[in-house]
Every structure is written in C-alpha cells, then in structure tokens.
Structure 1
Amino acid sequence: MRNRILGGLFGVAVGDALGGTTEFMNEAEIRREYGWLEEIIGEGVWNLEAGEITDDTAMTIAVARGIIQNPEDPIEAIGEHFLKWKDTNPKDIGNIIRTVFGLYDGNWTEAARRAGQLLNGQTAGNGTLMRCLPIALAYRDAAVMEEVTRRHSEMTHEDPLATEACLIYNRIARRLLQGEQLTSAILTEITGTRYEQLLNCEPPVTPPDGFVVHTMQWVVHHLLEAETFEEVVQRAANGGGDSDTIGAIAGGLAGIYWGCDGIPSRYADKILLQQNLIELGDALLTLREKGDR
C-alpha cells in the first residue's frame, strides 16, 4: 500500500514536471522543439527548473496537508493550505481558482457560486480533478471518500461536471489501491458515463485543454493505451495543450497502478519536492490504516 500511495503522489508530480515543459504548445511545436520529449528538463512557458512542479502538484499537496490536519472534516483545513500556497506568489494559478481566491471571504461555497456568476457559468475546468487524488489515498470508506471528494470540488468549481470527473477518478483510484487491474478499474467506472466511448480505443477528437471533460477523456485514453508509467506521462507531455495537468492527473493513477517502484528513478529522483511527497505519503498511509475512515 505504501508503494501505491507514494506512486500516486510521485505520479502526479512527475506528470506535472514533465508536462510543464510543453504546456500551451501544440504537437507540431513540440516536435520541432523537442522531437519526442522524454526527460524532465523544466523551461517552458513558466521557465521551470528541472523537477519543479506547478499548481497541479502544489494544490494536491495542499489537499493532502488539509486532510492530515483534520481528517474528520478537512474542507476548511484544505482551504487554509490553499491560501498559504497562494501567498507564496506561485507562477501558475488557474483562472477559475484565481477568481475564487479573489472572492473568498470565509465561505468557499459562496465564493465558488459568485465566481460562477462572474465567469458566466464557465467553471467546468480541470482544477479540482488535478488535486483530488489524496482523498482516495486517505479514506478507505467509499462513502466518506465520495463525500469529501464532492465537497472538495465544490469549494472552487460549482459546475457538476467537475465534481463528476473527480468522483469517477477517485473511484478508479480506490479500485487500483485495492489491487484491481488498470483496464478493469477504468472499464467499471466509466461504463454508463459520458466517458464510455473511450473504451473504443480511438483518440478523443477534442483538444487536450482545460475543460474537465476534455481533460478526463485524454487521461482515460492515455491510461488505456499505455503499457508503462513512462509511456503514460510521455503521451500527456507530447500531446501539448494543458499537458502538465493532463500528465499530473494521468500520472497519479498510473503511479498507483505501477507503484512508486514502477516510476523510473530518473523521473522520481528529479522531483525537487520528493522528500515532502514521501512524508505526506507516509502520513496518508497512517490515516488510511487507522480504521474505517
């Protein structure tokens, strides 16, 4: 279980750090600049240091820390860690989340509602999907896991499409943590949903952008098509668009499935915050083993 939990956290960070190089580029631009990007080299639009993470991993860490701080009712603690991260003046904050931060006045749900009005209802971004994995890692009880997943998504994104994607994603993660095969877990959880057509193995016709439905489509496609962790995150990075976020989301599930041992050391050792991830993973494991939480 420790191998799977650490694999999930490192998978998010590796997908993020690798994809951060190609974010906002298209496939043709990536081919001209890098051929096929295989290594974590940083740079890109955010001028990243090699192994530096973006908002995807930073907010995932904030969610993990909030859960560890108050596992019985983590929402306010998660919010505290979001605001601490915001105060570090990060390079990258998504537009929806930035808007919610600007409107927050002690009530996350109200801030998300007002952001929805200000943004004309355009709040179905992937900013909650990118950060929700620690909830599945921490809570063994399915009902509790789903309740926290839902409430966590609604903190910043009022659109039900964001919540739906987080729930499907964390249900897949839960199955992988229990040792289920990757294809089987995905098949079970997307059958009967808007993502069921991905089972035909055809690439999505949608762009790999920040709309949560498009993001989830590409995540599922990469996971179903790849044969190794390495291939999952490379596919995401070389697809461009919102490549860091798609890489982080796909990398999280791939990391659980293949385990931390299945992540190439040249990737894991490159992550600048690797010690933080190890400490958080061990704390989440302790929570998970405490009882029926």
Structure 2
Amino acid sequence: MTRSRSGLEDYRSRVRGCLFGGAVGDALGAPVEFMTLDGIRAEHGPAGVREYVADYADGSPRHGLVTDDTQMTLFSVEGLIRAGVRQDRGLGFNPLGVVHHAYLRWFETQTLQEPSGHPDGWLREERWLYARRAPGDTCLNALGRGAGTPDRPYGTAAENDSKGCGGVMRSAPFGLLPPEGAPGDAYIFTIAAQAAGLTHGHPTGRLASGALALLIHRLVAGDDLRTALDAAMVELRGHESHEETDAALDQALRAAATEPVSAETVEGLGGGWIAEEALAIAVYAALVHPEPEEFTDALALAVTHSGDSDSTGAVCGNVLGALHGETALPPELTFEVEGRGTIGQLADDFVWEFTEGNRLHDDYGPPSRWTRRYPGG
C-alpha cells in the first residue's frame, strides 16, 4: 500500500486511539457495571465516574483494570493480523475462521491458569490476560463448543438467539482495516457481523456489530462523526432484520438533538446489556461530547448509568479514539490502563502488517520472526 508519511501517521494515531480509547472506557466503567445510577452518584458525585475506581482484590489498590471487552478486542486484532499474514502467503484475505481461532485462544485464557505450553503466537503468552473479569456466558458457551473439526469448522456461526453486547463490544478492530485497498464498506460491515455471529446468533447482535465496525472504518477514513454514522446506517438498512438497530440509533440521534445531556437521557436509551442499546448509548455520548477535549466527558456520560457500563464505555472510547486519534486520549486515564504495553504493541503491529507488510515478509527482514509472532492461522 502506498501512503504518505502524514497519512501513515494519521492512520496509526487513529488505530492506537481506537484501541486505547476502548480500553480506557472499559476500565472506567467496569467497577460500576452492576450499580444503580443513584448508587453511582452517591459514591462518585453528580458528574459521575471520571476517574478509575481502585480494586483491592489483591490487598493493594490497582487502577485501570479492563474486562473481557478489551481482552476479546485484542484477540480480534490478533486474528486480523494473522489473517493478513495468510494473505501475504497467497491464501487470500478470509479472516472469519482465523478470528474464530483467535477467540478460542481467548477462551483458553479464561479456562486455564496459565499458557498451556504449545507455541501459538505471542498474545496468548501474556499472563495478565489470564484474569477472568466476568466474561459473558454467551461467549463462553459458544466458544466452549470448540471448532476446527469436520463437524464444526472454524467460522461456524453460534447456535443461539442471543443479541447480548458481547459481539459489538469487540467489533471495532474490523473497522480499523486501512481504507485504501480495503474491500469496501459492505465487506467491513459483513465480516464484523459474521464475526459477532460466532458467539451471538440473533440478527441484531450481528448487525449492531457490523454498524459499529463500519462507523469506525469511516472515521478512520477521515469522515466526521455524523457523516460516518450516516454511512453506517445506510449500509445497515440494506440488511434484513435491521429494524431494532436502526431504531436504537435513530433514538440516539433524536436524544442528542433534543434531550438534555444527562444520565437520565442515557438510561432512556436502555441499559446497554443488548447490542443495539450498547451501540446507541456509546453513539449518543460521542454525539453530545464530540470535541477532542471532551473525551473524558463523553466516557463519563457513557459509563454513568444503571447498566453495562464497561461495554458502553468501551464502545464510546473506540468511537472517539478513531475520530480524534491518540493525542486526544485523556492522559490521566491512559497512563495506567491495564495492558498498556500489549495494546500498544498490537496496535503498531496491526498498522505495520496492513501498511508495510512487504517489509516484514521479504528481504527487508527475516519472515520467520514475524510469522512466529503471528502464525497465519
């Protein structure tokens, strides 16, 4: 891919902003996920959650701990990189099965105490990922059925009717594929929807995930928030069973235009436990706080409600990070988010694979080291 230096810097900033923004929103909302709005205000004040809550589970305070939302997002990134490696080997870009395999590696982190020993890339060796942070039963049950056998090949859709937010909260990385040379908006939407369908079988769970990925993709391409959202909604309406997601996004748009900016308005959009509500809450918070200097305001609004605060915070952070790039990230939150080093490595590796892959797979460097890091499968 040919890209100017300034274009490459902008792209890298948006990729890093999206992934770090999602992790920060996740960590901000996680400690209040099961609290009521009144309880959150009583503990954190009328402005809501604007700084990390300490976790004392290990006896000393730890701040910025992320959940399965960030964990699975990182495995989405790793799966896409490994799909890129397969493409470099002449096998075509068919990420669904490769991402499914990545999610099974995440499942391993949730069911084992430590890496099992057989080499399979570097991400599954990161010990901090083996923390179990209330992963969704839908994801665990769907992935627990395994894959990679003749009866259940990689890429097989889940056999359930769930539209929980466990698909949409990990879908932003599909939108980070470079706009130049990408297969197009419809493909980004569809592959993200199919990947969500690996664990969540309801059409709304899939289509909300596709809409988020395309929203991110258009932001990375340089669209403003409303233009990117319009493009995502146009694509969404071309799919059967789009009505629930379309209605939720329409409600978010109306609320941003006509309702007070408040947690009560957020709660009018739902609890975020299901896919379309999580997307709507995140979009609403971004719409009413769209400026770079309002990043923390948007995240605080997205997590201060009686619902799935970590997921709505994560999705909002993904959106704003893709919109503004990493320089808009609030440093008071970003510097101690859990897994910061891992997130940064994956973000940069993603950019390199999809913009400078020839320098990783030919005479510029030993391909064995890169492909040991990212086996193509």
2:25 aligns with: 15
Amino acid across the alignment from 2:351: L
Q: Matched residues in 2 for 1:46 and 1:149: separation?
A: 37
1:96 corresponds to which of 138, 142, 160: 138
- Please give the per-residue CA displacement for 1:141-170, whole angstroms capped at 9, x wherever unaligned: 224423421321121111110121112111
Judged with a 3 Å threshold, the aligned counterparts in structure 2 of structure 1 residues 187 and 231 are, in CA distance, closer, same or farther, namely: farther
Pair 1:58 & 2:71 matched: yes
Judged with a 3 Å threshold, the aligned counterparts in structure 2 of structure 1 residues 45 and 247 are, in CA distance, closer, same or farther, namely: farther
2:206 aligns with: 163
Q: Matched residues in 1 for 2:108 and 2:213: separation?
A: 28
Give runs of aligned pairs for residues 267-278 of structure 1, distance below 5 A: 267-278=333-344
Structure 2 SS opposite 1:87: helix
Q: CA deviation at 1:46?
A: 12
Judged with a 3 Å threshold, the aligned counterparts in structure 2 of structure 1 residues 109 and 82 are, in CA distance, closer, same or farther, namely: closer
1:173 aligns with: 216
Q: CA deviation at 1:111?
A: 6.3
Q: Matched residues in 2 for 1:45 and 1:19: separation?
A: 17
- Asked if the contact 2:158–2:199 (Cα under 8 Å) also holds between the matched residues in 1, the reply is yes
Judged with a 3 Å threshold, the aligned counterparts in structure 2 of structure 1 residues 241 and 67 are, in CA distance, closer, same or farther, namely: same
Q: CA deviation at 1:271?
A: 1.1
Amino acid across the alignment from 2:250: E
- Asked if the contact 2:174–2:191 (Cα under 8 Å) also holds between the matched residues in 1, the reply is yes
2:253 corresponds to which of 194, 199, 203: 199
Query: If you compute each CA radius of gyration, which structure gives the higher value, 1 or 2?
Result: 2
Number of residue pairs aligned between Structure 1 and Structure 2: 284
Give runs of aligned pairs for residues 131-150 of structure 1, distance below 5 A: 131-140=170-179, 141=182, 142=184, 143-150=186-193
- Please give the per-residue CA displacement for 1:19-50, whole angstroms capped at 9, x wherever unaligned: 01111111101011221221122439999931
- Asked if the contact 2:272–2:311 (Cα under 8 Å) also holds between the matched residues in 1, the reply is no
Structure 2 SS opposite 1:234: helix
Q: Matched residues in 1 for 2:356 and 2:103: separation?
A: 26
When structure 1 is superposed on structure 2, of 16-25 and 140-149 the one drifting more is 140-149
Q: Matched residues in 1 for 2:49 and 2:24: separation?
A: 13
- Asked if the contact 1:18–1:42 (Cα under 8 Å) also holds between the matched residues in 2, the reply is no
Judged with a 3 Å threshold, the aligned counterparts in structure 2 of structure 1 residues 159 and 42 are, in CA distance, closer, same or farther, namely: farther
2:37 aligns with: 27
Backbone CA RMSD of aligned residues: 2.4
Q: CA deviation at 1:253?
A: 0.6
Specify every segment of 5 or more residues in structure 1 that has no aligned partner in the other structure, as ranges. none
Judged with a 3 Å threshold, the aligned counterparts in structure 2 of structure 1 residues 147 and 209 are, in CA distance, closer, same or farther, namely: closer
TM-score w.r.t. length of structure 1: 0.88
- Asked if the contact 1:14–1:271 (Cα under 8 Å) also holds between the matched residues in 2, the reply is yes
